[in-house]
Amino acid sequence: MRLRTAIVSTALLMLGGAGVAAATDAASLARGKYLVEGVVACGNCHIARGAKGEPLFDKGLSGGMAFDDPAFNAVASNITPDMETGIGKWTDAQLAKAIREGIRPDKSVIGPPMPIAFYRHFSDSDLAAIIAYLRALPPVKNPVAKSRYNIALPPAYGPPITSVKSTPASNKRAYGEYLANIGHCMECHTPRDDKGMLQLDKLGAGGQKIPGPWGESVSRNLTPHPTGLKDWTDAQIIKAVREGVDRDGKPYKPPMGFAFYKSISDADMAALVAYLRSLRPQTFAGK
Ligand code: HEC
Ligand code: HEC
């Protein structure tokens, strides 16, 4: 009995409540690194920023990027394991609930633009891998300003989640959809209504205007329509995502996380393309 308990507790760390089993092994850590530094790209928002918004790579995921919108002035949090200014004091279960459900240990709700609606899809094992990765980061002391919301945040983004099963990579289209969810592609590539809500009946139709220091970029139509990716080859789509250039080699503007996406594996890129090809064809939702 004793021996069994010992084996179980070293192989698996059962996290109370969330029911997430965090395999604290090298494979999980490597998976977390691959996801966070790739398709999930937490750093596209959480990388430390200086006073002029310039990325401070040596300060890692210690936050500070400001997002100004009529509805909010949000500031990305410090998600390094610093005890005072980061998430160092949070348990794995608390981190899991924050990332997948948008609820902090003090029960407050994490606001936009953190894409919680998409993060609700994280499988238990990928969530555990991401937490293992965050825990292994060097702690960075970096106090960031508090976000201000001019809108009422929802009490929650949905019912509590106990468990999310992994989608097998052998099911290419379904796995591609999973990757697109955890990469929150559709958060930018779907048009919004006048209240700022995603128009999910136009999933992937683009046309969202995204202002920033780069001026304004407009998200593209990713559906298999002539105004979207219908006439693009797989190789052209893959090049656009990984290298951030269009079919003529012209670089795209931010904020899509091309610098992260360059490390997406060939198999994962093929799954993403299979998913995009399966979307309902839609006319480009922009002008
Ligand atoms: C599109 C931008 C964006 C992305 C991508 C993003 N976040 Fe966030 N995140 C934010 C913002 C902004 C806040 C602060 C929101 C607030 O103040 O309510 C935040 C808050 C958090 C918090 C709460 C921390 C605290 O101290 O309150 C955690 C934990 C977190 N993010 C983890 C992650 C992880 C892990 C990822 C990748 C899986 C991620 N975020 C991806 C923008 C983002
Ligand atoms: C933070 C917002 C954002 C996210 C997240 C995002 N994109 Fe984009 N994407 C854009 C914008 C904006 C453009 C156009 C940039 C420009 O025109 O300079 C773009 C361009 C593209 C293009 C080029 C298409 C064309 O017609 O030129 C492809 C393909 C693409 N994105 C796929 C994806 C995929 C797949 C994901 C998820 C892994 C993703 N995007 C995530 C904002 C985003």
- For 104, counting Cβ atoms within 10 Å of its Cβ (0-12 exposed, 13-18 middle, 19+ buried), the class is middle
Q: Which ligand is nearest to the CA of 248?
A: 2
Measured from the Cβ of residue 169, the count of other Cβ atoms closer than 10 Å reads: 14
CATH code 1.10.760 region(s) in the chain: 172-278
8 A C-beta contact, residue 14 and residue 29: no
Q: Which ligand is nearest to the CA of 219?
A: 2
| Sheet containing 148-149, strands listed edge to edge, beginning at the edge strand earlier in sequence | 66-69, 72-75, 148-149
Q: In this structure, what DSSP letter does residue 191 have? A: -
User: pLDDT below 70 — which residues of the chain?
Assistant: 1-24
8 A C-beta contact, residue 95 and residue 131: yes
Which amino acid makes up residue 169? A
d(C-alpha 128, C-alpha 146), whole Å: 27
CA end-to-end span of the chain = 67
Condensed to tens digits (0 to 9), the pLDDT of residues 223-239 reads: 999 999 999 999 999 99
d(C-alpha 147, C-alpha 77), whole Å: 9
Question: What pLDDT, on a 0 to 100 scale, did the predictor assign at position 181?
Answer: 98
Q: In this structure, what DSSP letter does residue 64 have? A: -
Residue 128 tokens, joined: 């555990």
8 A C-beta contact, residue 126 and residue 99: no
d(C-alpha 142, C-alpha 222), whole Å: 37
Question: What pLDDT, on a 0 to 100 scale, did the predictor assign at position 218?
Answer: 97
Phi, psi of 234 (to 5 degrees): -55, -45
Question: What pLDDT, on a 0 to 100 scale, did the predictor assign at position 137?
Answer: 97
Which residues are near ligand 2 (CB < 6 Å)? 39, 180, 183-185, 187-189, 210, 217, 219-220, 222, 237, 240-241, 246, 252-253, 255-256, 272
CA 265 – ligand 2 centroid, Å: 18
Condensed to tens digits (0 to 9), the pLDDT of residues 43-69 reads: 999 999 887 778 898 999 999 999 998
**To test ligand 2's pocket by mutation, which of 188, 218, 242, 262 has the most ligand atoms within 8 angstroms of CB?**
188
**To test ligand 1's pocket by mutation, which of 72, 77, 116 has the most ligand atoms within 8 angstroms of CB?**
77
Which amino acid makes up residue 42? C
Measured from the Cβ of residue 152, the count of other Cβ atoms closer than 10 Å reads: 7
CA 248 – ligand 1 centroid, Å: 35
Contacts of 101 (CB under 8 A, 6+ apart): 116, 120, 156, 157, 158, 160, 161
Q: What is the DSSP code string of 72-124?
A: EEEE----S--TTTSSTT--HHHHHHHHHH-B-TTSPBP-TTS-HHHHTT--H
pTM, rounded to two decimals: 0.92
Q: In this structure, what DSSP letter does residue 167 have? A: P
Let me know if domain 172-278 sits in CATH 1.10.287.
no
Query: Helices 124-136 and 92-101 sit at what angle, rounded to 10 degrees?
Result: 120
